[in-house]
Amino acid sequence: MVTVYLQALISGILIGGVFSLISVGLTLTFGVMKIKNFAHGDFLIVGMYFAFFCYTLLGIDPYLAALLGLPLFFGIGWIIQKFLIRPVLYAPETIKILVTVGISLCLQNIAVFFFSPDFQTVQVAYGSNTVEFFGARISLTRLAATALAVVVVISLYQFLMKTRTGRAIRACAEDGDGALAVGIDVDRIYKIALGISTVCVCLAGAMMTPFFYISPTVGLSFTLTAFVVVVLGGLGNLKGALIGGFIIGVVESFGEILMPEAALKQVATFTIFTLILLFRPTGLFGTKLT
């Protein structure tokens, strides 16, 4: 029984790293532009299908494909911001939500049209490799994805703290009008922010392909999970998103073995979500972009 719980803990930590990377992109979007992006998780399929076709058509490893796709992922976010988000940036909240929901539906239906609704998988040679840890098994593909996710999140944090562009992003998050007053090109910063956000979620999707199925609707559940993580860590807080991702990953993993029905595994996750909203709506770490 101890081994079962240890396995659940390890599995939760490994998927939690991926949750963190997805959620960091969402919290950055909200922290800078105050946009609740309900299409965020659907960009997973961009990274997933990119890695899938790089592997099946060109023989490129999914983790290498994730890095090769960085310019593409960033460009997609830049274009989405310029042509779809920017026109409604100062519109009522319901309009912004409807636009992001529309983007979500478009991404799903485009994927169905071009790639069919069938599930796809990437079978890499090392996909089943594991190492043993006190009787529990650690998947090397999940470990690699989690390690890369943590590196990306830490690198993004350093970028925001120590670079000129990063400081400009934080200034826009703090006070957009004030940033504009001191000469910051706010419109450009918003495009960069959504570009980075899209890179985070697309990278997560590409890195998941060796151990997760690919389908046009796979992003929906991850959007919900990302919102839970962001609320738990604090809207706009990068460190909170990183830690919150691991917490929710562990909670979901234990939920799988403690709940009698698979459909109930997320009960604990959304219970935490509800409690946070009731008793600490600013999250565990506050709402400042730090």
Portion of the chain with pLDDT greater than 70, in percent: 96
Predicted local confidence at residue 6, as pLDDT = 87
CA distance 244 to 107: 27
Structure token digits, residue 49 = 């299908």
Please, which residues have CB within 8 angstroms of residue 288's CB and are 6 or more apart in sequence?
174, 234, 236, 237
CA distance 78 to 205: 18
Q: Which domains does the chain have, with CATH numbers?
A: 2-279 (1.10.3470)
Which range among 125-134, 160-169, 251-260 has the greatest average pLDDT? 160-169
Instruction: Read off the pLDDT of each residue in 117-126 and give the average, rounded to a whole number.
Output: 90
Task: State pLDDT tens for residues 213-226.
Answer: 999 999 988 998 99
- Mean pLDDT, rounded, of the chain: 89
Supply the DSSP string of the chain, one letter for each residue.
-HHHHHHHHHHHHHHHHHHHHHHHHHHHHHHHH----TTGGGGHHHHHHHHHHHHHHH---HHHHHHHTHHHHHHHHHHHIIIIIGGGTTS-HHHHHHHHHHHHHHHHHHHHHHH-SS-B----TTTT-EEEETTEEEEHHHHHHHHHHHHHHHHHHHHHHHSHHHHHHHHHHH-HHHHHHTT--HHHHHHHHHHHHHHHHHHHHHHHTTTS-B-TTTHHHHHHHHHHHHHHH-TT-HHHHHHHHHHHHHHHHHHHHHSSSGGGTTHHHHHHHHHHHHH-TT-SS-SS--
Cα 99 to Cα 38, 146, 251, 284: the distances in Å are 9, 31, 32, 29
235 confidence band (pLDDT: 50, 70, 90): confident
CA distance 111 to 103: 12
Kindly report which listed range (75-79, 110-114, 229-233) carries the lowest average pLDDT score: 229-233
CB count in 10 Å sphere of residue 63: 18
Predicted local confidence at residue 69, as pLDDT = 96
Task: Give me the sign of the Cα torsion angle 219, 188, 86, 31.
Answer: positive
Predicted local confidence at residue 262, as pLDDT = 55
Structure token digits, residue 113 = 């049209």
50 confidence band (pLDDT: 50, 70, 90): very high
